[in-house]
């Protein structure tokens, strides 16, 4: 058995799922001095997920393998940065490393948190792989410098209401009895561009003061769906509005663009006008227009960790 400073690297390999998310609500409150924006958002993890393999190695360094187009395999990748941050925190950077295998299932730059999920999930996975014993709050602290959504994926919460830049989280109930269709129209939208083009209003600040506790306490309803960034992105990409109308006409209980876009999701609940088999058929028809970036998924998306012998 190989141990250093209490960290066991003998277990070798671990596989994880890194779930996508949607923003059921997204209110932009103000721009901070550090360039980030204060948010009030309700996020829900999904079963759609990337697949990650972590292999501990008894020599320094990080390697990343990912065959998806447009995904870097170097230190510019958020997954790499998460591994580097963890090893630095663990003070074993000079002696131990990790090989990362990443299979992308979540569209890139799509408003679904794929890169953030990879990073947060890697923090959780390395904590298990090295038996480091960090608490969830310690993992959240490691996640904060990596990006606004990363702390959510460093936790076991399936759904949260989050404030700050997304790091102040309160667990809430997941959507129940619902499936979702996600449609990604096949182009990238920069989150930085979307936030820069959003004009902040006093209404957002008032919402924070008056409705924050109600947002946490009340059961979520599709009538609550809201995204401040949607109008910004739709003005430049009107196909997003077309997709919303298409999903609404197909019987979705609620439709919204997630995050900075361009992915649009439709929520289909048991009480809706369309059943499960019909939903799969609907998705198949949509793929004839939008290609492979049409997904049928469920909620909860709890990170599935399995140790390999």
Which residues are marked as active site? 21, 149
Residues 6+ apart with CB under 8 A from 188: 108, 109, 110, 262
Q: How far is Cα 188 from Cα 50, in angstroms, rounded to an integer?
A: 18
Q: How far is Cα 298 from Cα 203, in angstroms, rounded to an integer?
A: 33
Residue 133: CB atoms within 10 Å: 10
Q: How far is Cα 269 from Cα 276, in angstroms, rounded to an integer?
A: 9
Residues 6+ apart with CB under 8 A from 229: 26, 28, 194, 195, 198, 257, 259, 260, 261
CA separation (Å) from 103 to 17, 62, 65?
10, 17, 9
């Amino acid at each position: 058995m190989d141990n250093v400073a209490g960290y066991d690297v003998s277990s070798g390999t671990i596989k994880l799922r890194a779930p996508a998310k949607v923003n059921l609500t997204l209110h932009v409150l103000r721009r901070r001095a550090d360039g980030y924006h204060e948010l009030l958002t309700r996020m829900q993890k999904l079963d759609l997920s990337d697949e990650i393999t972590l292999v501990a190695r008894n020599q320094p360094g990080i390697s990343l393998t990912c065959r998806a187009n447009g995904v870097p395999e170097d230190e510019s990748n958020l997954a790499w940065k998460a591994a580097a941050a963890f090893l630095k925190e663990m003070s074993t950077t000079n002696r131990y490393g990790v090989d990362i295998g990443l299979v992308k299932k979540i569209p890139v730059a799509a408003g679904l948190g794929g890169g953030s999920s990879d990073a947060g999930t890697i923090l959780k996975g390395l904590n298990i792989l090295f038996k480091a014993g960090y608490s969830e709050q310690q993992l959240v602290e490691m996640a904060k410098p990596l990006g606004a959504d990363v702390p959510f994926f460093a936790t076991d919460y399936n759904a949260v209401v989050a404030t700050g830049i997304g790091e102040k989280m309160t667990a809430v109930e997941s959507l129940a009895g619902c499936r979702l269709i996600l449609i990604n129209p096949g182009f990238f939208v920069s989150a930085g561009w979307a936030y820069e083009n959003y004009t902040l209003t006093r209404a957002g600040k008032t919402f924070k003061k008056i409705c924050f506790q109600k947002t946490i306490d009340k059961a979520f309803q599709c009538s609550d769906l809201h995204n401040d960034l949607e109008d910004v992105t739709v003005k430049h990409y009107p196909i997003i509005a077309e997709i919303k109308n298409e999903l609404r006409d197909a019987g979705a209980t609620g439709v919204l663009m997630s995050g900075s876009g361009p992915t649009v999701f439709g929520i289909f609940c048991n009480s809706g006008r369309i059943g499960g088999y019909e939903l799969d058929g609907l998705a198949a028809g949509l793929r004839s227009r939008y290609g492979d970036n049409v997904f049928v998924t469920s909620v909860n998306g709890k990170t599935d960790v399995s140790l390999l012998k």
